[in-house]
C-alpha cells in the first residue's frame, strides 16, 4: 500500500532523509497529549503562565500589594506599641516610681525627725512634732500609691519580681505601725524623764534602718527598673520598620525599571504615586523616630539617671541626720555613729561629683544647684565637727543646742538646707524627665497610623497602575 502526503493538490513523497510518517504522527500525538495535560493541571498552567509577560506583571502586582499591607500593619503595630509604652511610662510607671521614692524619703525623714525630737529633752518642739507627723502621713499616702500595679501588660513585673514586691509591701505594712508605736513609747518615757526612753528609741531606729528602709529601698529600685528597662528599648530606633520600608522602595524602583523596558514607557503613574507615598512615610518615620529616640535618650541621661542618684543622696542625707542625732541620744556608741555619719556624707559628696561630671550645659541640673548643695553639705560637716568636739568635752547641753536648735549655725538648719536643696534638684530633674517623655510621645504619636494609611494608599496605587498594563496583553 502506498503512503503519501498531499498538500495543496500535490503529492509529496517522503525523501530518503525525512523521518518516517509514523514517527511524525507519534510526535504530534505527544504534543497534543502534553497540551491536554497542561490544560488539565492548574499548577502546570500557572507555571506556564508565570513566565509570560502578563504573568510576570500579575506576580509583581501580588508581591507588591502583600508587601505594602504587611509593612503597613507591621509598622503600625511596632510604632503604636512604642507610643503606648511611652504613655504607660508617663501615666503609670513613673508615678509608681515617684511614690516609691516619696515613701522611701518620708520614712527616712520621719526617723530623723523622731531622733531630733527625742534629744530636745522633755516636750519636743512643735516644728519637730509636725515634721515627724507629716512625714508619716506622706509615707502612708505614698505607700497606697506605690502598692499599685502597671496597667500595661508589658510593664507588669515577672511573677518572681512581683513576689519580691509583695514581700516588701507586706514588710512595710506590718513594720511601720510597730515603728510608730515604739516612737510613741520612747516619746512618753522621754517626757516623764525615764532613761528607758532611749532604749525604745534605739529599738525603733534599728527597726527603721534594718527592716523598713531596706524594704522601701528594694521597692524603689524595682519601680525604677520598670522605667529603665523600657527606656533602654525605646532608645533603639525601630530598625525593622526601616528595613521593611526600604525593601518596598527597592521593589518599586525595580518594578519601574522593568515596566520601562517592557512597555517603553518611562513612568507608571500608579507605581510613581506609590513610590512617593512610601518615601514620604519613610522620611516621616526617620524624622519622628529619631526625634523620639533622642528625647527618650535625653530623658534617661538628663532625667532618670541623675534622678536616681539624687534620690539616693537625699536618703543618705536622712540617714546621716539619724546617725548624728542618735549619737547624741545614746552617748555610749558615738564612735560607730560618728563613722557612719562621715561615711554617709562622703557618699553624698561622691554622688554630687558624679552628677556634676555627667551633667551637660543644657541639662536640667544646673551647676548653681549642685554648687549650693555642695556648699551646704560642707557647712553641715563643719557644724557637726563642732558638735563632736562639744560632746567629747562633755558639754552635752551646748551640743544639743547646736544639733537641734533654731539658730542659723545649727546642724538642724544645715540639714534642712541640704534636704531642701536636694528636693529642689529632684523636682527639676523629674519635670525634665516627664517633659522629655511627653515630647517623645507627641512626635511619635500618629506616625504608626500615618504610615499604615500611606502603605495602603501605595498598594491601591500599584493596583491601579499595573492593571492597565496587564490588560494590554489581551
Reported pTM = 0.73
Is pLDDT of 51 > 60? no
Identify whether the C-beta of residue 78 lies closer than 8 Å to the C-beta of residue 241.
yes
pLDDT per residue as tens digits for the range 244-281: 999 999 999 998 888 887 766 677 888 899 999 999 99
pLDDT value of residue 68: 93
Distance CA 187, CA 302 (A): 43
pLDDT value of residue 8: 46
pLDDT per residue as tens digits for the range 405-450: 777 778 888 888 898 899 899 888 888 888 888 888 888 888 989 9
Distance CA 308, CA 358 (A): 13
Closest to 281 measured CA to CA, from 235, 239, 249: 249
Helix axes 213-234, 305-330, angle to 10 degrees: 170
397 CB burial (10 A radius; 0-12, 13-18, 19+) = exposed
pLDDT per residue as tens digits for the range 3-48: 444 444 454 455 555 556 766 566 666 666 656 555 555 555 555 5
Residue 238, CA distances (Å) to 64, 108, 276, 402 in order: 22, 42, 21, 59
Distance CA 33, CA 456 (A): 45
Confidence of residue 57 (pLDDT cuts 50, 70, 90): confident
pLDDT value of residue 92: 82
Identify whether the C-beta of residue 101 lies closer than 8 Å to the C-beta of residue 311.
yes
Q: Tell me how far the alpha carbon of residue 233 is from its chain's centroid.
A: 7
Distance CA 235, CA 431 (A): 19
**Would you tell me how many other CB atoms lie within 10 Å of the CB of residue 90?**
19
Rg of the chain over CA atoms, in angstroms?
Answer: 39
Amino acid at each position: 500500500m502506498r503512503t503519501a502526503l498531499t498538500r495543496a493538490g500535490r503529492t509529496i513523497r517522503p525523501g530518503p532523509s525525512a523521518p518516517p510518517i509514523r514517527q511524525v504522527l507519534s510526535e504530534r500525538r505527544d504534543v497534543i497529549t502534553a497540551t491536554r495535560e497542561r490544560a488539565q493541571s492548574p499548577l502546570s498552567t500557572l507555571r506556564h503562565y508565570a513566565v509570560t509577560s502578563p504573568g510576570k506583571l500579575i506576580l509583581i502586582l501580588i508581591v507588591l500589594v502583600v508587601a505594602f499591607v504587611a509593612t503597613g500593619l507591621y509598622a503600625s503595630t511596632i510604632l503604636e506599641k512604642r507610643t503606648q509604652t511611652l504613655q504607660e511610662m508617663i501615666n503609670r510607671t513613673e508615678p509608681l516610681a515617684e511614690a516609691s521614692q516619696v515613701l522611701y524619703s518620708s520614712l527616712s525623714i520621719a526617723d530623723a525627725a523622731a531622733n531630733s525630737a527625742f534629744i530636745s529633752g522633755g516636750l519636743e518642739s512643735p516644728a519637730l512634732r509636725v515634721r515627724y507627723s507629716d512625714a508619716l502621713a506622706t509615707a502612708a499616702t505614698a505607700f497606697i500609691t506605690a502598692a499599685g500595679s502597671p496597667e500595661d501588660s508589658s510593664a507588669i513585673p515577672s511573677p518572681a519580681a512581683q513576689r519580691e514586691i509583695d514581700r516588701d509591701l507586706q514588710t512595710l505594712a506590718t513594720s511601720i505601725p510597730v515603728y510608730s508605736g515604739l516612737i510613741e513609747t520612747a516619746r512618753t518615757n522621754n517626757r516623764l524623764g525615764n532613761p528607758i526612753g532611749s532604749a525604745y528609741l534605739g529599738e525603733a531606729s534599728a527597726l527603721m534602718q534594718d527592716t523598713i528602709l531596706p524594704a522601701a529601698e528594694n521597692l524603689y529600685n524595682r519601680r525604677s527598673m520598670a522605667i529603665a528597662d523600657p527606656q533602654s528599648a525605646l532608645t533603639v530606633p525601630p530598625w525593622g520598620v526601616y528595613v521593611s520600608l526600604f525593601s518596598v522602595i527597592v521593589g518599586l524602583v525595580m518594578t519601574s525599571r522593568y515596566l520601562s523596558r517592557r512597555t517603553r514607557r518611562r513612568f507608571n503613574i500608579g507605581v510613581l504615586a506609590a513610590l512617593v507615598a512610601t518615601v514620604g512615610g519613610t522620611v516621616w518615620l526617620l524624622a519622628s523616630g529619631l526625634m523620639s529616640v533622642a528625647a527618650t535618650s535625653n530623658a534617661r541621661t538628663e532625667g532618670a539617671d541623675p534622678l536616681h542618684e539624687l534620690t539616693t543622696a537625699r536618703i543618705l542625707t536622712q540617714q546621716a541626720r539619724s546617725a548624728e542625732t542618735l549619737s547624741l541620744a545614746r552617748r555610749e556608741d558615738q564612735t560607730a555613729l560618728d563613722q557612719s555619719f562621715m561615711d554617709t556624707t562622703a557618699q553624698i559628696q561622691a554622688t554630687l561629683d558624679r552628677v556634676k561630671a555627667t551633667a551637660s550645659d543644657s541639662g536640667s541640673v544646673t551647676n548653681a544647684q549642685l554648687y549650693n548643695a555642695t556648699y551646704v553639705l560642707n557647712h553641715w560637716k563643719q557644724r557637726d565637727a563642732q558638735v563632736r568636739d562639744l560632746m567629747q568635752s562633755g558639754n552635752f547641753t551646748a551640743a544639743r543646742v547646736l544639733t537641734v536648735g533654731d539658730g542659723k549655725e545649727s546642724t538642724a538648719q544645715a540639714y534642712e538646707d541640704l534636704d531642701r536643696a536636694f528636693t529642689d534638684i529632684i523636682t527639676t530633674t523629674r519635670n525634665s524627665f516627664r517633659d522629655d517623655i511627653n515630647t517623645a510621645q507627641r512626635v511619635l504619636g500618629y506616625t504608626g497610623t500615618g504610615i499604615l494609611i500611606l502603605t495602603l494608599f501605595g498598594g491601591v496605587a500599584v493596583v491601579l497602575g499595573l492593571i492597565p498594563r496587564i490588560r494590554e496583553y489581551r
